Structure 1
Amino acid sequence: MSVDKDNLMEEPRSGGIQVIARASAVMRSLAVQPQGLSLAAIAQAVGLPRSTVQRIIGALETEDLVEALPGSGYRLGPGLHQLIHQAHGDIISFVRDSLEQLGESLGETVALSCIRGQQSNVIIRAISEHELRVVIPLGRSLPMHATSDGKVLLSTLSDEEIGRWIAAAPEKLTGRTLDLPGLLAQMPGIRRDGIAVDVEEHAPGVSAISALLPTFMGPHAVTVVAPTARFEARQAEFRQALETFREDFKRARG
Protein backbone atom coordinates (compact mmCIF):
# COMPACT_ATOMS: atom_id res chain seq x y z
CA MET A 1 0.00 0.00 0.00
CA SER A 2 1.42 3.41 -0.96
CA VAL A 3 0.68 6.69 0.77
CA ASP A 4 1.82 10.24 0.14
CA LYS A 5 3.07 10.76 3.69
CA ASP A 6 4.59 14.19 2.96
CA ASN A 7 1.30 15.56 1.66
CA LEU A 8 -0.49 14.04 4.63
CA MET A 9 1.82 15.84 7.05
CA GLU A 10 1.92 19.17 5.17
CA GLU A 11 -1.75 20.03 5.57
CA PRO A 12 -2.59 23.34 7.30
CA ARG A 13 -2.35 23.35 11.06
CA SER A 14 -6.06 22.75 11.58
CA GLY A 15 -5.92 19.93 9.05
CA GLY A 16 -2.92 18.43 10.85
CA ILE A 17 -4.85 18.39 14.10
CA GLN A 18 -7.71 16.67 12.30
CA VAL A 19 -5.33 14.04 10.92
CA ILE A 20 -4.03 13.32 14.43
CA ALA A 21 -7.57 13.04 15.78
CA ARG A 22 -8.56 10.67 12.98
CA ALA A 23 -5.42 8.56 13.40
CA SER A 24 -6.15 8.33 17.13
CA ALA A 25 -9.69 7.18 16.39
CA VAL A 26 -8.38 4.49 14.03
CA MET A 27 -5.89 3.24 16.64
CA ARG A 28 -8.55 3.18 19.36
CA SER A 29 -10.82 1.11 17.13
CA LEU A 30 -8.00 -1.41 16.74
CA ALA A 31 -7.17 -1.34 20.46
CA VAL A 32 -10.55 -2.84 21.36
CA GLN A 33 -10.25 -5.48 18.63
CA PRO A 34 -6.85 -7.13 19.22
CA GLN A 35 -7.66 -9.78 16.60
CA GLY A 36 -7.69 -7.00 13.99
CA LEU A 37 -10.20 -5.33 11.68
CA SER A 38 -10.66 -4.94 7.96
CA LEU A 39 -10.48 -1.50 6.34
CA ALA A 40 -14.24 -1.54 5.92
CA ALA A 41 -14.78 -2.39 9.59
CA ILE A 42 -12.38 0.36 10.71
CA ALA A 43 -14.12 2.88 8.44
CA GLN A 44 -17.48 1.90 9.93
CA ALA A 45 -16.16 2.09 13.50
CA VAL A 46 -14.71 5.59 13.12
CA GLY A 47 -17.29 6.98 10.71
CA LEU A 48 -14.85 7.93 7.96
CA PRO A 49 -14.70 7.11 4.24
CA ARG A 50 -12.73 3.97 3.41
CA SER A 51 -10.33 6.01 1.25
CA THR A 52 -9.51 8.30 4.20
CA VAL A 53 -8.97 5.33 6.51
CA GLN A 54 -6.70 3.73 3.90
CA ARG A 55 -4.46 6.84 3.84
CA ILE A 56 -4.29 6.97 7.64
CA ILE A 57 -3.56 3.25 7.91
CA GLY A 58 -0.77 3.65 5.33
CA ALA A 59 0.92 6.41 7.36
CA LEU A 60 0.57 4.46 10.60
CA GLU A 61 1.90 1.32 8.94
CA THR A 62 4.99 3.22 7.77
CA GLU A 63 5.75 4.03 11.43
CA ASP A 64 5.03 0.44 12.58
CA LEU A 65 2.11 1.70 14.65
CA VAL A 66 -0.19 -0.56 12.65
CA GLU A 67 0.60 -3.81 10.86
CA ALA A 68 -1.16 -5.78 8.15
CA LEU A 69 -2.53 -9.20 9.01
CA PRO A 70 -1.97 -12.21 6.76
CA GLY A 71 -4.71 -12.23 4.17
CA SER A 72 -6.51 -9.02 5.05
CA GLY A 73 -7.06 -6.65 7.91
CA TYR A 74 -4.92 -4.66 10.33
CA ARG A 75 -4.00 -4.61 14.00
CA LEU A 76 -1.87 -2.42 16.25
CA GLY A 77 1.79 -2.77 15.34
CA PRO A 78 5.08 -3.47 17.10
CA GLY A 79 6.07 0.20 17.12
CA LEU A 80 3.20 1.02 19.46
CA HIS A 81 3.94 -1.98 21.67
CA GLN A 82 7.56 -0.80 21.93
CA LEU A 83 6.46 2.67 23.03
CA ILE A 84 4.15 1.15 25.64
CA HIS A 85 6.92 -1.17 26.86
CA GLN A 86 9.34 1.76 27.24
CA ALA A 87 6.80 3.84 29.12
CA HIS A 88 5.88 0.92 31.36
CA GLY A 89 9.59 0.42 31.95
CA ASP A 90 9.68 3.85 33.57
CA ILE A 91 6.74 2.97 35.81
CA ILE A 92 8.26 -0.41 36.67
CA SER A 93 11.61 1.12 37.60
CA PHE A 94 9.82 3.66 39.80
CA VAL A 95 7.52 1.16 41.53
CA ARG A 96 9.70 -1.96 41.77
CA ASP A 97 11.44 -1.23 45.10
CA SER A 98 8.24 -0.02 46.77
CA LEU A 99 6.32 -3.06 45.53
CA GLU A 100 8.98 -5.44 46.82
CA GLN A 101 8.94 -3.67 50.20
CA LEU A 102 5.14 -4.00 50.30
CA GLY A 103 5.41 -7.72 49.61
CA GLU A 104 8.09 -8.20 52.24
CA SER A 105 6.16 -6.27 54.89
CA LEU A 106 2.98 -8.28 54.31
CA GLY A 107 4.62 -11.60 53.49
CA GLU A 108 2.26 -12.09 50.54
CA THR A 109 2.42 -11.96 46.76
CA VAL A 110 1.92 -8.47 45.31
CA ALA A 111 1.62 -7.29 41.73
CA LEU A 112 1.21 -4.26 39.48
CA SER A 113 -1.12 -4.57 36.50
CA CYS A 114 -2.70 -2.48 33.77
CA ILE A 115 -5.32 -2.80 31.04
CA ARG A 116 -4.10 -4.61 27.94
CA GLY A 117 -6.73 -5.09 25.27
CA GLN A 118 -9.80 -5.93 27.33
CA GLN A 119 -8.03 -7.82 30.11
CA SER A 120 -5.81 -6.96 33.05
CA ASN A 121 -2.13 -7.72 32.47
CA VAL A 122 0.47 -8.31 35.19
CA ILE A 123 3.61 -6.25 34.42
CA ILE A 124 5.57 -6.63 37.68
CA ARG A 125 5.24 -8.88 40.73
CA ALA A 126 6.92 -9.93 43.97
CA ILE A 127 6.24 -13.50 45.08
CA SER A 128 5.55 -14.46 48.69
CA GLU A 129 8.06 -16.58 50.61
CA HIS A 130 5.26 -18.60 52.26
CA GLU A 131 5.27 -22.33 51.61
CA LEU A 132 1.56 -21.97 50.76
CA ARG A 133 1.46 -18.99 48.40
CA VAL A 134 -0.10 -17.67 45.21
CA VAL A 135 2.18 -17.27 42.18
CA ILE A 136 0.95 -14.89 39.46
CA PRO A 137 2.59 -15.54 36.08
CA LEU A 138 4.32 -12.41 34.80
CA GLY A 139 2.68 -11.03 31.69
CA ARG A 140 -0.43 -13.13 32.21
CA SER A 141 -3.72 -11.61 31.06
CA LEU A 142 -6.61 -12.12 33.46
CA PRO A 143 -10.39 -11.68 33.02
CA MET A 144 -11.37 -8.27 34.31
CA HIS A 145 -14.80 -9.20 35.67
CA ALA A 146 -13.44 -11.86 38.05
CA THR A 147 -10.30 -10.28 39.54
CA SER A 148 -9.78 -7.44 41.99
CA ASP A 149 -7.31 -5.62 39.73
CA GLY A 150 -9.65 -6.06 36.77
CA LYS A 151 -12.59 -4.63 38.71
CA VAL A 152 -10.69 -1.62 39.99
CA LEU A 153 -9.42 -0.91 36.46
CA LEU A 154 -12.94 -1.31 35.05
CA SER A 155 -14.13 1.29 37.56
CA THR A 156 -12.38 3.96 35.47
CA LEU A 157 -14.92 3.26 32.69
CA SER A 158 -18.59 4.20 32.61
CA ASP A 159 -21.21 1.53 33.24
CA GLU A 160 -22.10 1.68 29.55
CA GLU A 161 -18.47 1.05 28.55
CA ILE A 162 -18.20 -1.82 31.03
CA GLY A 163 -21.33 -3.34 29.50
CA ARG A 164 -19.73 -3.19 26.07
CA TRP A 165 -16.47 -4.71 27.31
CA ILE A 166 -18.00 -7.47 29.42
CA ALA A 167 -20.42 -9.91 27.82
CA ALA A 168 -23.97 -10.02 29.16
CA ALA A 169 -23.10 -13.48 30.53
CA PRO A 170 -19.37 -13.33 31.41
CA GLU A 171 -17.52 -16.59 31.96
CA LYS A 172 -18.29 -18.07 35.38
CA LEU A 173 -14.92 -19.24 36.70
CA THR A 174 -16.09 -20.21 40.20
CA GLY A 175 -19.35 -20.30 42.12
CA ARG A 176 -18.60 -16.75 43.28
CA THR A 177 -17.87 -15.14 39.91
CA LEU A 178 -20.11 -12.10 39.41
CA ASP A 179 -22.50 -11.69 36.52
CA LEU A 180 -22.75 -8.31 34.79
CA PRO A 181 -25.49 -6.87 37.09
CA GLY A 182 -23.51 -7.97 40.15
CA LEU A 183 -20.34 -6.41 38.78
CA LEU A 184 -22.07 -3.10 38.02
CA ALA A 185 -23.61 -3.09 41.50
CA GLN A 186 -20.09 -3.02 42.99
CA MET A 187 -18.88 -0.13 40.82
CA PRO A 188 -20.13 2.84 42.92
CA GLY A 189 -18.24 1.61 45.98
CA ILE A 190 -15.11 0.78 43.98
CA ARG A 191 -15.13 4.22 42.32
CA ARG A 192 -15.60 5.90 45.69
CA ASP A 193 -12.78 4.09 47.47
CA GLY A 194 -10.49 3.09 44.61
CA ILE A 195 -10.42 -0.41 46.15
CA ALA A 196 -11.79 -3.72 44.83
CA VAL A 197 -11.89 -7.19 46.38
CA ASP A 198 -12.02 -10.66 44.84
CA VAL A 199 -12.92 -13.47 47.24
CA GLU A 200 -12.56 -16.68 45.21
CA GLU A 201 -14.22 -15.08 42.16
CA HIS A 202 -11.34 -16.06 39.87
CA ALA A 203 -10.01 -19.25 41.44
CA PRO A 204 -11.11 -21.42 44.41
CA GLY A 205 -9.00 -20.84 47.51
CA VAL A 206 -7.46 -17.60 46.18
CA SER A 207 -8.50 -14.07 47.16
CA ALA A 208 -7.12 -10.62 46.42
CA ILE A 209 -7.53 -6.91 47.05
CA SER A 210 -6.44 -4.12 44.69
CA ALA A 211 -6.04 -0.35 44.80
CA LEU A 212 -6.31 1.95 41.81
CA LEU A 213 -3.01 3.64 41.01
CA PRO A 214 -3.31 6.61 38.63
CA THR A 215 -0.20 7.09 36.48
CA PHE A 216 0.85 9.14 33.45
CA MET A 217 0.37 5.92 31.44
CA GLY A 218 -3.23 5.59 32.55
CA PRO A 219 -4.76 3.58 35.38
CA HIS A 220 -2.80 0.77 37.00
CA ALA A 221 -3.67 -1.48 39.91
CA VAL A 222 -1.52 -2.68 42.80
CA THR A 223 -2.72 -5.98 44.27
CA VAL A 224 -2.18 -8.20 47.28
CA VAL A 225 -3.14 -11.83 46.61
CA ALA A 226 -3.18 -14.67 49.14
CA PRO A 227 -4.79 -17.99 49.99
CA THR A 228 -8.33 -17.26 51.18
CA ALA A 229 -7.73 -18.52 54.72
CA ARG A 230 -5.00 -15.92 55.33
CA PHE A 231 -6.77 -13.27 53.28
CA GLU A 232 -9.96 -13.29 55.30
CA ALA A 233 -8.03 -12.87 58.55
CA ARG A 234 -5.91 -9.98 57.19
CA GLN A 235 -8.10 -8.17 54.65
CA ALA A 236 -8.31 -4.95 56.69
CA GLU A 237 -4.52 -4.96 57.11
CA PHE A 238 -4.02 -5.48 53.36
CA ARG A 239 -6.40 -2.63 52.57
CA GLN A 240 -4.58 -0.22 54.87
CA ALA A 241 -1.23 -1.19 53.36
CA LEU A 242 -2.54 -0.57 49.84
CA GLU A 243 -3.99 2.81 50.77
CA THR A 244 -0.66 3.82 52.29
CA PHE A 245 1.19 2.55 49.20
CA ARG A 246 -1.07 4.64 46.96
CA GLU A 247 -0.61 7.83 49.00
CA ASP A 248 3.17 7.33 49.09
CA PHE A 249 3.16 6.83 45.30
CA LYS A 250 1.18 10.03 44.74
CA ARG A 251 3.55 12.05 46.92
CA ALA A 252 6.63 10.60 45.26
CA ARG A 253 5.29 11.34 41.78
CA GLY A 254 4.37 14.87 42.79
Structure 2
Amino acid sequence: MSKQEPEIGEENKQCGIQVIARAAAIMRTLGEHPHGLSLAAIAQAVDLPRSTVQRIVGALEAEYLVEAICRSGGFRLGPALGRLIHRTQTDIITVVRPYLEQLANQLQESVSLSKQAGKNIYVIDRIVAERELRVVFPIGIHVPLHSTASGKVLLSRLNDEQVRDLLPDPLPPMTCNTHDLPTLLNELATIRKTGVAIEQEENTEGMSSVAVLLDTYLGPFTIAVVVPSPRAARRIDLFKKALLECKQEIERMIGGNACKP
Protein backbone atom coordinates (compact mmCIF):
# COMPACT_ATOMS: atom_id res chain seq x y z
CA MET A 1 0.00 0.00 0.00
CA SER A 2 1.54 3.29 -1.08
CA LYS A 3 1.93 6.20 1.26
CA GLN A 4 -0.28 9.19 0.60
CA GLU A 5 1.26 12.64 0.26
CA PRO A 6 0.28 14.91 3.15
CA GLU A 7 -2.32 17.47 2.19
CA ILE A 8 -1.03 20.98 1.68
CA GLY A 9 -3.04 23.60 3.52
CA GLU A 10 -4.56 26.52 1.66
CA GLU A 11 -2.31 28.92 3.55
CA ASN A 12 0.83 27.06 2.41
CA LYS A 13 -0.45 27.02 -1.19
CA GLN A 14 -0.95 30.78 -1.13
CA CYS A 15 2.50 31.25 0.38
CA GLY A 16 4.04 29.15 -2.39
CA ILE A 17 2.20 31.11 -5.08
CA GLN A 18 3.37 34.38 -3.53
CA VAL A 19 7.01 33.24 -3.53
CA ILE A 20 6.77 32.25 -7.20
CA ALA A 21 5.20 35.61 -8.08
CA ARG A 22 7.94 37.46 -6.20
CA ALA A 23 10.67 35.39 -7.86
CA ALA A 24 9.13 36.12 -11.27
CA ALA A 25 9.06 39.86 -10.49
CA ILE A 26 12.73 39.77 -9.52
CA MET A 27 13.68 37.92 -12.70
CA ARG A 28 11.67 40.32 -14.87
CA THR A 29 13.45 43.24 -13.20
CA LEU A 30 16.86 41.69 -13.82
CA GLY A 31 15.81 41.00 -17.41
CA GLU A 32 15.25 44.73 -17.85
CA HIS A 33 18.71 45.49 -16.40
CA PRO A 34 21.15 43.12 -18.17
CA HIS A 35 24.18 44.78 -16.56
CA GLY A 36 22.88 43.75 -13.14
CA LEU A 37 21.43 45.31 -10.00
CA SER A 38 22.31 45.35 -6.33
CA LEU A 39 20.01 43.71 -3.80
CA ALA A 40 18.91 47.16 -2.62
CA ALA A 41 18.07 48.24 -6.18
CA ILE A 42 16.14 45.02 -6.81
CA ALA A 43 14.23 45.47 -3.56
CA GLN A 44 13.27 49.01 -4.53
CA ALA A 45 12.19 47.97 -8.03
CA VAL A 46 9.93 45.13 -6.84
CA ASP A 47 8.81 46.91 -3.65
CA LEU A 48 9.89 44.17 -1.27
CA PRO A 49 12.08 44.15 1.87
CA ARG A 50 15.77 43.65 1.13
CA SER A 51 15.84 40.58 3.37
CA THR A 52 13.04 38.96 1.36
CA VAL A 53 14.79 39.73 -1.92
CA GLN A 54 18.04 38.31 -0.55
CA ARG A 55 16.38 35.00 0.33
CA ILE A 56 14.68 34.67 -3.05
CA VAL A 57 17.80 35.69 -4.99
CA GLY A 58 19.78 33.14 -2.98
CA ALA A 59 17.35 30.39 -3.99
CA LEU A 60 17.42 31.48 -7.64
CA GLU A 61 21.23 31.61 -7.55
CA ALA A 62 21.35 28.03 -6.27
CA GLU A 63 19.42 26.99 -9.40
CA TYR A 64 21.66 29.14 -11.66
CA LEU A 65 18.66 31.26 -12.67
CA VAL A 66 20.48 34.28 -11.20
CA GLU A 67 24.22 34.83 -10.89
CA ALA A 68 26.37 37.20 -8.84
CA ILE A 69 28.51 39.83 -10.55
CA CYS A 70 31.79 39.61 -8.70
CA ARG A 71 33.13 43.10 -9.32
CA SER A 72 30.01 45.09 -8.50
CA GLY A 73 28.44 42.77 -5.95
CA GLY A 74 25.18 42.86 -7.89
CA PHE A 75 23.16 40.17 -9.62
CA ARG A 76 21.99 39.41 -13.15
CA LEU A 77 20.07 36.63 -14.89
CA GLY A 78 21.97 33.35 -14.82
CA PRO A 79 22.94 30.80 -17.47
CA ALA A 80 20.13 28.35 -16.62
CA LEU A 81 17.56 30.81 -17.96
CA GLY A 82 19.33 30.95 -21.30
CA ARG A 83 19.33 27.17 -21.48
CA LEU A 84 15.59 27.03 -20.72
CA ILE A 85 14.84 29.60 -23.41
CA HIS A 86 17.06 27.67 -25.81
CA ARG A 87 15.09 24.47 -25.22
CA THR A 88 11.70 26.13 -25.72
CA GLN A 89 12.88 27.66 -28.98
CA THR A 90 14.89 24.69 -30.17
CA ASP A 91 13.09 24.37 -33.54
CA ILE A 92 13.71 27.93 -34.70
CA ILE A 93 17.24 27.97 -33.27
CA THR A 94 18.19 24.70 -34.95
CA VAL A 95 17.06 26.00 -38.32
CA VAL A 96 18.31 29.58 -38.08
CA ARG A 97 21.68 29.13 -36.33
CA PRO A 98 23.62 28.14 -39.50
CA TYR A 99 22.34 31.29 -41.18
CA LEU A 100 23.33 33.41 -38.18
CA GLU A 101 26.81 31.91 -38.24
CA GLN A 102 27.11 32.61 -41.96
CA LEU A 103 25.89 36.19 -41.48
CA ALA A 104 28.27 36.82 -38.58
CA ASN A 105 31.21 35.42 -40.56
CA GLN A 106 30.27 37.44 -43.62
CA LEU A 107 30.00 40.74 -41.76
CA GLN A 108 32.43 40.03 -38.91
CA GLU A 109 29.84 41.48 -36.53
CA SER A 110 27.66 40.12 -33.72
CA VAL A 111 24.18 38.98 -34.77
CA SER A 112 21.09 37.96 -32.81
CA LEU A 113 17.80 36.09 -33.11
CA SER A 114 15.00 37.62 -31.03
CA LYS A 115 11.31 37.29 -30.23
CA GLN A 116 8.74 39.63 -28.68
CA ALA A 117 7.87 39.28 -24.99
CA GLY A 118 5.19 41.84 -24.12
CA LYS A 119 6.69 45.32 -24.41
CA ASN A 120 10.20 43.88 -24.72
CA ILE A 121 12.20 41.70 -27.02
CA TYR A 122 14.30 38.85 -25.71
CA VAL A 123 17.32 37.36 -27.38
CA ILE A 124 16.97 33.61 -27.88
CA ASP A 125 20.23 33.04 -29.75
CA ARG A 126 23.25 35.01 -30.81
CA ILE A 127 26.66 34.77 -32.47
CA VAL A 128 29.34 37.06 -31.06
CA ALA A 129 31.85 38.46 -33.55
CA GLU A 130 35.44 37.22 -33.25
CA ARG A 131 37.19 40.59 -33.31
CA GLU A 132 38.70 42.98 -30.80
CA LEU A 133 35.98 45.68 -30.78
CA ARG A 134 32.61 43.92 -30.72
CA VAL A 135 29.23 43.88 -28.99
CA VAL A 136 28.62 41.06 -26.49
CA PHE A 137 25.15 40.42 -25.05
CA PRO A 138 23.68 37.44 -23.17
CA ILE A 139 21.00 35.05 -24.37
CA GLY A 140 17.83 35.87 -22.46
CA ILE A 141 18.36 39.63 -22.34
CA HIS A 142 15.11 41.65 -22.31
CA VAL A 143 15.20 45.06 -24.04
CA PRO A 144 12.35 47.55 -24.70
CA LEU A 145 10.75 47.24 -28.12
CA HIS A 146 10.78 50.97 -28.81
CA SER A 147 14.54 51.46 -28.38
CA THR A 148 15.93 48.63 -30.55
CA ALA A 149 15.98 47.80 -34.24
CA SER A 150 14.57 44.33 -33.53
CA GLY A 151 11.78 45.82 -31.43
CA LYS A 152 10.89 48.42 -34.02
CA VAL A 153 10.68 45.90 -36.84
CA LEU A 154 8.30 43.84 -34.67
CA LEU A 155 6.24 46.95 -33.91
CA SER A 156 5.99 47.65 -37.64
CA ARG A 157 3.65 44.64 -37.88
CA LEU A 158 1.07 46.62 -35.89
CA ASN A 159 -0.93 49.66 -36.95
CA ASP A 160 -0.45 52.97 -35.14
CA GLU A 161 -3.45 52.45 -32.87
CA GLN A 162 -2.16 49.05 -31.76
CA VAL A 163 1.29 50.53 -31.09
CA ARG A 164 -0.26 53.26 -28.92
CA ASP A 165 -2.22 50.64 -26.99
CA LEU A 166 0.89 48.54 -26.41
CA LEU A 167 3.45 51.20 -25.50
CA PRO A 168 3.41 53.84 -22.77
CA ASP A 169 3.36 57.53 -23.65
CA PRO A 170 5.78 59.10 -23.02
CA LEU A 171 8.20 56.35 -23.95
CA PRO A 172 10.88 55.65 -21.32
CA PRO A 173 14.13 57.26 -22.51
CA MET A 174 16.95 54.71 -22.51
CA THR A 175 19.49 57.26 -23.84
CA CYS A 176 19.31 60.82 -25.10
CA ASN A 177 18.72 59.35 -28.59
CA THR A 178 15.59 57.35 -27.70
CA HIS A 179 12.67 58.46 -29.88
CA ASP A 180 9.42 59.84 -28.53
CA LEU A 181 6.16 58.19 -29.62
CA PRO A 182 5.32 60.53 -32.58
CA THR A 183 8.85 60.11 -33.97
CA LEU A 184 8.65 56.35 -33.51
CA LEU A 185 5.31 56.15 -35.34
CA ASN A 186 6.77 58.09 -38.28
CA GLU A 187 9.74 55.73 -38.35
CA LEU A 188 7.48 52.66 -38.29
CA ALA A 189 5.77 53.91 -41.45
CA THR A 190 9.16 53.87 -43.19
CA ILE A 191 10.05 50.44 -41.80
CA ARG A 192 6.79 49.02 -43.20
CA LYS A 193 7.91 50.14 -46.66
CA THR A 194 11.59 49.12 -46.50
CA GLY A 195 11.38 46.07 -44.24
CA VAL A 196 14.49 47.21 -42.37
CA ALA A 197 14.77 48.92 -38.97
CA ILE A 198 17.78 50.93 -37.78
CA GLU A 199 18.65 51.97 -34.25
CA GLN A 200 21.54 54.31 -33.44
CA GLU A 201 22.42 54.50 -29.73
CA GLU A 202 18.73 54.59 -28.79
CA ASN A 203 19.06 51.83 -26.19
CA THR A 204 22.74 51.82 -25.22
CA GLU A 205 25.34 54.51 -25.84
CA GLY A 206 28.02 53.35 -28.23
CA MET A 207 25.89 50.56 -29.72
CA SER A 208 23.74 50.50 -32.86
CA SER A 209 21.76 47.81 -34.66
CA VAL A 210 19.98 46.95 -37.90
CA ALA A 211 17.19 44.35 -38.04
CA VAL A 212 14.69 42.60 -40.30
CA LEU A 213 11.57 40.57 -39.54
CA LEU A 214 11.41 36.80 -40.01
CA ASP A 215 7.89 35.65 -40.90
CA THR A 216 7.90 31.93 -40.12
CA TYR A 217 5.33 29.25 -39.43
CA LEU A 218 6.81 29.17 -35.90
CA GLY A 219 5.84 32.82 -35.47
CA PRO A 220 7.52 36.19 -36.00
CA PHE A 221 11.19 36.58 -35.06
CA THR A 222 13.89 39.09 -35.89
CA ILE A 223 17.51 38.84 -36.92
CA ALA A 224 19.74 41.80 -36.19
CA VAL A 225 23.31 42.94 -36.64
CA VAL A 226 24.52 44.62 -33.44
CA VAL A 227 27.66 46.74 -33.76
CA PRO A 228 29.75 49.43 -32.06
CA SER A 229 28.39 52.75 -33.30
CA PRO A 230 31.64 54.04 -34.83
CA ARG A 231 31.49 51.21 -37.40
CA ALA A 232 27.75 51.35 -38.01
CA ALA A 233 27.28 54.47 -40.12
CA ARG A 234 29.67 53.51 -42.91
CA ARG A 235 28.34 49.92 -43.16
CA ILE A 236 24.56 50.42 -42.92
CA ASP A 237 23.91 49.64 -46.59
CA LEU A 238 26.00 46.46 -46.37
CA PHE A 239 24.10 45.36 -43.25
CA LYS A 240 20.73 45.98 -44.91
CA LYS A 241 21.64 43.98 -48.01
CA ALA A 242 23.08 41.06 -46.02
CA LEU A 243 20.09 40.93 -43.64
CA LEU A 244 17.51 41.00 -46.44
CA GLU A 245 19.34 38.19 -48.26
CA CYS A 246 19.55 36.17 -45.05
CA LYS A 247 15.84 36.77 -44.38
CA GLN A 248 14.95 35.57 -47.88
CA GLU A 249 16.94 32.35 -47.46
CA ILE A 250 15.44 31.54 -44.06
CA GLU A 251 11.86 32.31 -45.10
CA ARG A 252 12.31 30.15 -48.18
CA MET A 253 12.81 27.24 -45.79
CA ILE A 254 10.44 28.06 -42.88
CA GLY A 255 8.41 31.04 -44.07
CA GLY A 256 4.82 31.67 -42.98
CA ASN A 257 3.56 29.93 -46.12
CA ALA A 258 6.13 27.14 -46.02
CA CYS A 259 3.73 24.51 -44.75
CA LYS A 260 0.75 25.57 -46.86
CA PRO A 261 -0.12 23.74 -50.08
TM-score (ref. length: structure 2) = 0.64
Q: Assess if the C-alpha contact under 8 Å between 2:213 and 2:223 holds in 1.
A: yes
Alignment match, 1:235 = 236
Identity across matched positions, percent: 39
Amino acid in the other structure paired with 2:189: P
Alignment match, 2:140 = 139
Alignment match, 2:195 = 194
Q: Assess if the C-alpha contact under 8 Å between 1:88 and 1:217 holds in 2.
A: no
Q: CA deviation at 1:91?
A: 0.4
1:52-104 deviation line (CA, Å, top 9, x unaligned): xxxxxxxxxxxxxxxx9429x9x9xxxxxxx9865621000000111011101
Whole-Å separation in 2 of the counterparts to 1:104 and 1:139: 23
Q: CA deviation at 1:193?
A: 2.0
Alignment match, 1:70 = 18
Amino acid in the other structure paired with 2:196: I
Alignment match, 1:172 = 173
Distance 1:234 1:84, change over 3 A: closer
Distance 1:86 1:138, change over 3 A: closer
TM-score (ref. length: structure 1) = 0.66
Aligned residue for 1:70, secondary structure, equals helix
Q: CA deviation at 1:209?
A: 0.2
Alignment match, 1:24 = none
Distance 1:165 1:90, change over 3 A: same
Aligned residue for 2:89, secondary structure, equals helix
Whole-Å separation in 1 of the counterparts to 2:104 and 2:207: 17
Alignment match, 1:216 = 217
Q: CA deviation at 1:245?
A: 0.2
Q: CA deviation at 1:183?
A: 0.6
Alignment match, 1:114 = 115
Alignment match, 1:157 = 158
Alignment match, 1:64 = none
1:85-143 deviation line (CA, Å, top 9, x unaligned): 65621000000111011101100000000001221000000001121111121100001
1:163-201 deviation line (CA, Å, top 9, x unaligned): 122111111111110011111111111112221000111
Q: Which runs of 5+ in 1 are unaligned?
A: 1-67, 76-82
Whole-Å separation in 1 of the counterparts to 2:182 and 2:120: 19
Q: CA deviation at 1:214?
A: 0.7
Aligned residue for 2:18, secondary structure, equals coil
Q: Which runs of 5+ in 2 are unaligned?
A: 1-15, 25-83
Amino acid in the other structure paired with 2:207: V
